[in-house]
């Protein structure tokens, strides 16, 4: 009789993402964003963007070449340029055609810190390596080349996994940051320490 040990970092299944982003976002807290080269961070801040019902979403006005990934299969990564300076990374949610996603705003680095420090030399402290959407993408090496990456299969070396830690029972909830429309939507979640 053989026994198997469960994968300590099991990828989130596709159906996890196949829901409204405001349902998915708080459940992404405390999950792990991992890169095949050993970098990993615990997700500590997220924002939901809900397609046609959300004027702040990139997908609000419909599909374009830039945002096409948001309209695809859930569980993929939508990567876009923020303010012409940084890359932002989103987990695509909902059903195909909805244009919904969750912006990964911050992670707490837990592995591969030397590599992250090399990519983020301006960070004075490890806690500042990935405490914003652009910083997160830079620390994890995420660029437009990762747009469309499958977070379930890890086809481009990046996945979102669970190590069994549940989301916080009482996350901090508030308005989204850096937008000018639908600013009253309370669709930003943070861990109590995030």
Contacts of 18 (CB under 8 A, 6+ apart): 74, 75, 93, 94, 95
Residue environment code for 76-112, b if the CB has 16+ CB neighbours within 10 A, otherwise e: bbbbbeeeeeebbbbbbbbeeebbbbbbbbbbbbebb
- What pLDDT sits at residue 8? 67
Terminal alpha carbon distance of the chain: 45
Which helix (H) or strand (E) segment is 23 a member of? helix 21-28
Place of tokens 């997908």: 59
- What pLDDT sits at residue 83? 73
**Tens digits of residue pLDDT in 77-136:** 999 988 778 999 999 999 999 999 999 999 999 999 999 999 999 888 998 999 999 999
Region at 141 (left for phi over 0; alpha for psi -120 to 50; beta for the rest): left
Cα–Cα distance list, 94 to 107, 109, 146, 161, 170 (Å): 23, 28, 20, 18, 24
**Tens digits of residue pLDDT in 63-76:** 999 999 999 999 99
- What pLDDT sits at residue 5? 38
Rounded distance, CA 136 to CA 127, Å?
11
Neighbouring C-beta atoms of residue 45, cutoff 10 Å:
26
**Tens digits of residue pLDDT in 132-184:** 999 999 999 999 999 999 999 999 999 999 999 999 999 999 999 988 899 99
Rounded distance, CA 55 to CA 176, Å?
12
Give the single-character DSSP code of 145. Answer: G
- What pLDDT sits at residue 7? 60
The CATH classification number of 10-163+172-190 equals 3.10.300.10
**Tens digits of residue pLDDT in 46-62:** 999 999 999 999 999 99
- What pLDDT sits at residue 75? 98
Q: How confident is the model at residue 1 (pLDDT cuts 50, 70, 90)?
A: very low
- What pLDDT sits at residue 142? 97
**Tens digits of residue pLDDT in 14-25:** 999 999 999 999
* pTM as predicted: 0.93
């Amino acid at each position: 009789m053989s026994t198997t040990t469960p994968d300590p970092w099991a990828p989130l299944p596709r159906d996890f993402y196949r829901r409204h982003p405001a349902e998915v976002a708080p459940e992404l807290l405390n999950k792990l964003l991992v890169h095949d080269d050993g970098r990993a961070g615990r997700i500590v801040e997220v924002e939901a963007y809900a397609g046609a019902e959300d004027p702040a979403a990139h997908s609000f006005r419909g599909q374009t070449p830039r945002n096409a990934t948001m309209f695809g299969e859930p569980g993929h990564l939508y990567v876009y340029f923020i303010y012409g300076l940084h890359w932002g990374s989103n987990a695509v949610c909902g059903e195909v055609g909805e244009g919904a996603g969750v912006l990964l705003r911050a992670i707490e680095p837990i592995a591969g810190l030397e590599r992250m420090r090399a990519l983020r030399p301006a960070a004075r402290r490890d806690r500042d390596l990935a405490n914003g959407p652009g910083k997160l993408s830079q620390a994890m090496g995420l660029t437009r080349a990762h747009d469309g990456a499958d977070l379930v299969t890890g086809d481009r070396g990046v996945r979102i996994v669970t190590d069994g830690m549940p989301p916080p029972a009482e996350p901090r909830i508030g308005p989204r940051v850096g937008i000018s429309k639908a600013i009253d939507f309370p669709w930003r979640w943070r861990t109590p320490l995030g």
